[in-house]
Amino acid sequence: MSAAINDRLPLAPLLALAMAAFITILTEALPAGLLPQMAQELSVSEAWAGQTVTIYALGSLVAAIPLTSATQAFRRRPLLLTAIAGFVIANTVTTFSSCYALTMVARLLAGVAAGLLWALLAGYAARMVPKHQQGRAIAVAMVGTPLALSLGVPAGTFLGTLVGWRICFGIISGLALILMLWVRLQVPDFAGQPRGRQLPLRCVFLLPGVRSVLSVVLTFVLAHNILYTYIAPFLMNAHMAEHTDRVLLIFGAASVLGIWVIGILIDRYLRVLTLLSTVLFGLSALILGIAGSEAGVIYVAVSAWGLAFGGAATLFQTALTKTAEDAADVAQSMLVTAWNLAIAGGGVIGGVLLSHFGVGAFSPVLLVLLLATLVVVWASGNRGFSNLGGRELEEGLSNQSLKPTASRSCP
């Protein structure tokens, strides 16, 4: 009985972290569904309104590493509350602002808050549970991401067309306020990293396995964003433009299923699941390249793609948390940076491919990126994508001099 009790996940605090992820993704992606309304009320073109998404990503990209490094010694709960408060302020300003420049400043602040929050979530979830449950805990904390994409953004877009886009951002502010109370009452506090045990960025980057995980994040997420960013023209080429919302809904539903499966199995099969996710995404890309004009084939391929991508963030964050251990938050900030670089790269590379070669070029490029992902995951079975927990990994790497201690420095 006691073992069963000890193995029970602390769902209330983990779901609070999931709510934080939900609010982060919703704040980021909602403008994409409300561009015409936002553009009209802010007196700018839709292209300029779209930059509200760009500047959010830029805030995360620029702030994640320096903010996380500077706050290593801070207690975790006050830091988490500060990040959530950033969303309260940013979304409240967005709700009432009639000035485009002020709205852009608010969106930049939201992106900065997101960069800090994403760096905290995985390590925070992992510290709530024993090492053999860290993957499941991170999966619960990350479930807000696919839920925001599959349910939150479509619901927000629908609500925005009914009552106006400002109400939507006001609701997000209200949710963030409720979340702050939830975190204060339910989420445990943890000490920051003692100053004598803090590793510089270079040392964290050089920890065995960290670079492997980051490179996988870059290639896998880049492949995803090339296709996801330009899914509308891809479907237009298949004469399915009017079904874009349905295709994205299928992708979102499959993503939720994917993170559920990953959450059950991740603590025992981290490496195998990462390999399978990469192969499944590759098969989806191959099918889309061969028969991407058939509606039925597209629905099946998109389902497989969503299933593969749904748990990807959890796989990568768990791998990095287990690998970096005490330096997990700093390592996660690097993951946030790599992820946002992949988002930006997907937009740029996908745009070049679309302009010069058409959507037919997507599949070969995706397959090259996913093959590179597969090779790195396969080669990093002992460091990075290992099924070993923290203590076992530490023992296996005991001959390395990069373990974070006060008496050691990186080369």
* Distance (Å, whole) CA 336 – CA 338: 6
Local structure of residue 359 (DSSP, 8 states): G
Query: pLDDT grade, residue 173 (50/70/90)?
Result: very high
More confident residue, 231 or 382: 231
Q: What is the mean pLDDT of residues 182-204?
A: 82
**205-240 exposure pattern, b = at least 16 Cβ within 10 A, e = fewer:** bebbbbbbbbbbbbbbbbbbbbbbbbbeebbebbeb
pLDDT at 148: 87
Largest CA distance in the chain: 63
| Token pair listed for 207 | 């920890």
Give pLDDT tens digits for 382-408.
Answer: 777 876 444 444 444 344 433 443 333
Looking at the chain, the domain(s) classified CATH 1.20.1250.20 span 11-194, 199-387
Mean pLDDT of 74-99: 95
Domain at 11-194, CATH homologous superfamily: MFS general substrate transporter like domains (1.20.1250.20)
To the question of domain 199-387 being in CATH 1.10.1740.10, the answer is: no
Tens digit of pLDDT for each residue in 218-229?
999 999 988 887
What pLDDT score was predicted for residue 197? Answer: 63
Q: What is the DSSP letter of 194?
A: -
Determine the 3-state secondary structure of 317 from DSSP: helix
- Which structure tokens are listed for 324? 């970096």
Taking alpha carbons only, the member of 163, 129, 237, 173 closest to residue 26 is: 173
Dist CA 336 CA 119 (whole Å): 7
**6 burial type by CB count under 10 A (0-12 exposed, 13-18 middle, 19+ buried):** exposed
Question: What does the pLDDT read at residue 392?
Answer: 41
Confidence of residue 7 (pLDDT cuts 50, 70, 90): low
How many other CB atoms sit within 10 Å of the CB of residue 75? 12
Q: How far apart, in whole angstroms, are the C-alpha atoms of residue 148 and residue 91?
A: 16
What is the reported pLDDT for 274?
A: 94
Cα atoms found within 13 Å of the Cα of residue 105, Cβ hemisphere only: 9
What's the CA gap between 213 and 215, in Å, rounded?
5
Rounded mean pLDDT, 320-341: 84
Provide the sign of the torsion angle of the four alpha carbons 344, 66, 125, 374, taken in this order: positive
Is the per-residue pLDDT at 1 higher than 70?
A: no
More confident residue, 144 or 46: 144
Determine the average pLDDT of the residues in 142-157.
Answer: 84
Amino acid at 187: V
Angle at 221 between CA 45 and CA 218, to 5 degrees: 110
Pick the closest to residue 122 from 68, 74, 82 (CA basis): 68
pLDDT at position 117 is: 94
Residue 411, pLDDT score: 52
Q: Which residue type, as a one-letter code, is found at position 88?
A: V
pLDDT at 95 over 70: yes
Average pLDDT, the chain: 85
